[in-house]
Amino acid sequence: MSVLVFIECADGKVKKSSFEAACYGQQVAASLGTEIVAIAIGEVATEELKSLGKYGAAKVLVDEEPRLKDYVSQAYTKVVAAAAEKENASVIILSNTNIGSGIGARLAARLQACYAANVVALPEISGDTLKVKKSVFSGKAFAEENLSASTKIIAIKKNSIEVKETGSGEAAIETFTTALTDADLNGVPQETVRATGDVLLTEADIVVSGGRGMRGPENWHLIEDLAKALGAATACSKPVADVGWRPHHEHVGQTGITISPNLYIAVGISGAIQHLAGVNSSKVIVVINKDPEAPFFKAADYGIVGDIFEVVPKLIEEAKALAK
Amino acid sequence: MKILVCISNVPDTTTKISFTPDNKELNTAGVQFVINPYDEYALTRAIELKESQGGTVTVLNVGLADTEANIRKALAIGADDAIRVNAKPTDAFFVAQQIAQYAKEGGYDLILMGKESVDYNGFQVHGMVAELLGWPAIVPAIKLDVTGTTATLEREIEGGKEIMQVNLPLVASAQQPMSEPRIPNMRGIMTARTKPLNVVEPISSDVKTKTEAYTLPEKKSGVKLIDPANAGELITLLRNEAKVI
């Protein structure tokens, strides 16, 4: 029996969300009295993978098949399923990302497993049953679920667990191969287009977001400058994406991207319930709006009622001073 | 081209969520149910593909009779016919099995649905359906075109997008900006009444997961307001008090 953690990589590096998954796996494994094994696919720096030992992984299986350089759901699922079988995994941990949950769903059907997505806390364990808490109704509520099948799959929501080193050892690296057919590889990406911006929205710890109160795209430099000073990603509300001031992949909210950063700064966003649904699991919410009646203030931890064109430059100045 | 679009019946996005006194079910009193917004993107794109290339669009919903108003809406928007699998959608795997079973018999080229439902946010029915059928799944897709037996898709990835060509059949899940949802017109509403809506009984399936209880997030303790004249103080508080920067 083991706990298997799927490690997502980008540009040869392990993603932060996968370190979270490893920490989650380590704590589940400790409670179950077993060990964690990680599986990584594609080309990743060996040092990065060895460092997973600090988070409890005794061993990392690596499948470096060149055709798996980019994510293909069928093929990746096949590899993770084979790893789960080899390691006799009773629990499989993934990140609740596009890739992680894409694999999680397929694995659940393939392995006849219990699958819980969007999980926000460590499970309560009694015997063979894991009780998990997951975010539902677009962050407006939580559901508690008992997972009791012999294989349990858990996809954890970003920022739900603290990343901390629990050991100093290096993980052993073991090459892993899985036979793939052409059918498994139907859907290999031919071209990748990277969006501009220094910090990925979905991976960001801090997000600075603008709404209609910004008045127009020509004022967006205020959002970008504040984000840059804080090392943050930028985002926007739905109306802003709908009128084309910003691209759709920056739209956070119920029908856009759901995020859970440590800090969410909303500038000129009134806070419609649909917007809130996409951001309300942020640890700290700051709202800057000239309208004291804006509903967003009810969900905020800190707020400034004032003219954003006066307030935001002061914040940029202060954040820059702090960075020095 | 035969397209199957799966739609889910969800609380309107402005709904304030509450639960029954035993915390085991959603309190549906006064809640208006709508077609899941992501499924509407899938439905609209399916209808656009049918209009440009010919074929049929079938809508499938797993639900009890109270979902028929939204199924009729999908027909009014332009789907040709509809199937309602007469069952309460107990969990994702149950729903996926019903869809896969129906799709196996239907000879579809394409199965489309939203990337997730805005109620249970599982992001999983498409993946399960694809696995049960042995088909590729492209999720979340932001663009979809079909030429002959090949689909060209754009898939959103963290920090960008990927472009790919995939041989049909396939499952794709929709996300903006795949399409601009349409509002049914009077002619559509009238013709929807005469379009077939077939009710079928579910196949038996294991229930893999069951929600034991629902809870609401803890209420925030209240906002701390900072004088706009001293806006810079916010940065100090975020650093020293909240410890998030």
**Average pLDDT, rounded, for chain B:** 95
* Same domain for A48 and A134: yes
pLDDT value for A159: 87
Task: State how many domains chain B has.
Answer: 1
Last residue of some domain: A151, A184, A217?
Answer: A184
B164·A249 Cβ contact <8 A: no
* Same domain for A80 and A19: yes
Residue A192 lies in a domain: no
**CATH number assigned to the domain comprising residue A130:** 3.40.50.620
Assign B109 to helix, strand or coil.
Answer: coil
Best residue in A246, A286, A291 to probe B by mutation, most B CBs within 10 Å? A286
pLDDT value for B206: 77
The pLDDT of residue A67 is above 80? yes
What pLDDT digit, counting tens, does each position of B6-24 carry? 999 999 999 999 999 999 9
* Same domain for A157 and A15: yes
- Which neighbouring-strand residues pair with B157? B160
Q: Are the C-beta atoms of A171 and B152 separated by less than 8 Å?
A: no
A142·B215 Cβ contact <8 A: yes
Residue A193 lies in a domain: no
**CATH number assigned to the domain comprising residue A259:** 3.40.50.1220
Assign B122 to helix, strand or coil.
Answer: coil
Annotated binding residue A273: yes
- CB-nearest to B176 from A197, A255, A318 is A255
pLDDT band at A169 (very low <50, low <70, confident <90, very high): confident
* Same domain for A142 and A101: yes
Other C-beta atoms closer than 10 Å to the C-beta of B29 total: 7
Residue A134 is part of which domain span? 2-184
DSSP conformational letter for B17? P
Whether complex ipTM tops 0.90: yes
* Same domain for A39 and A155: yes
Residue A39 lies in a domain: yes
Task: State how many domains chain A has.
Answer: 2
Torsion of CA A89, A94, A98, A102, to 10 degrees: 20
> Which A residues in the span 255-314 are in contact with B, Cβ-Cβ below 8 Å?
255-256, 258, 262-263, 272-274, 277, 280-281, 283-284, 286-287, 297-307, 310-311, 314
Last residue of some domain: A119, A152, A184?
Answer: A184
* Same domain for A166 and A25: yes
* Same domain for A34 and A168: yes
Residue B55 is part of which domain span? 2-217
CA–chain centroid gap for B130, Å, is: 15
Residue A313 lies in a domain: yes
* Same domain for A124 and A88: yes
* Same domain for A230 and A162: no
**Average pLDDT, rounded, for chain A:** 94
- Which neighbouring-strand residues pair with B57? B3
Q: Are the C-beta atoms of A144 and A133 separated by less than 8 Å?
A: yes
pLDDT averages per 10-residue partition of chain B, 245 residues: 97 94 95 97 98 97 98 98 96 96 94 95 96 97 96 90 96 93 95 97 87 91 94 95 94
pLDDT value for A196: 64
Residue A70 lies in a domain: yes
Q: Is A16 exposed, middle or buried (0-12, 13-18, 19+ CB in 10 A)?
A: middle
| CA dist B239 → A268, B114, B138 (Å) | 22, 40, 41
* Same domain for A119 and A52: yes
Listed residue (B12, B208, B237) closest to A302, CA to CA = B237
Which chain B positions have a beta carbon within 8 Å of A298's beta carbon? 220, 223
The token duo for B77 is: 């928007």
**CATH number assigned to the domain comprising residue B18:** 3.40.50.620
* Same domain for A297 and A165: no
pLDDT value for A257: 87
Residue A144 lies in a domain: yes
Handedness of CA B38, B40, B45, B50 (dihedral sign): positive
- Residue A320: in which H helix or E strand, if any? helix A308-323
What pLDDT digit, counting tens, does each position of A233-252 carry? 999 999 999 999 998 889 99
Assign A271 to helix, strand or coil.
Answer: coil
Q: In the predicted model, what is the mean pLDDT of residues A195-200?
A: 71
pLDDT value for B50: 97
pLDDT value for A219: 97
B166·A186 Cβ contact <8 A: yes
**Residue in the structure block whose two tokens are 């706009």:** B228
Residue A85 lies in a domain: yes
The pLDDT of residue A197 is above 80? no
Q: Are the C-beta atoms of B131 and A105 separated by less than 8 Å?
A: yes
Q: Are the C-beta atoms of A106 and B130 separated by less than 8 Å?
A: yes
Distance CA B3, CA B110 (A): 5
Q: How many CB pairs under 8 A join A and B?
A: 269
Q: Are the C-beta atoms of A209 and A252 separated by less than 8 Å?
A: yes
pLDDT value for B29: 95
- CB-nearest to B127 from A73, A141, A195 is A73
Smallest Cα distance from A324 to chain B, Å: 13
Chain A residue with the nearest C-alpha to that of B18:
A141
Residue A201 lies in a domain: no
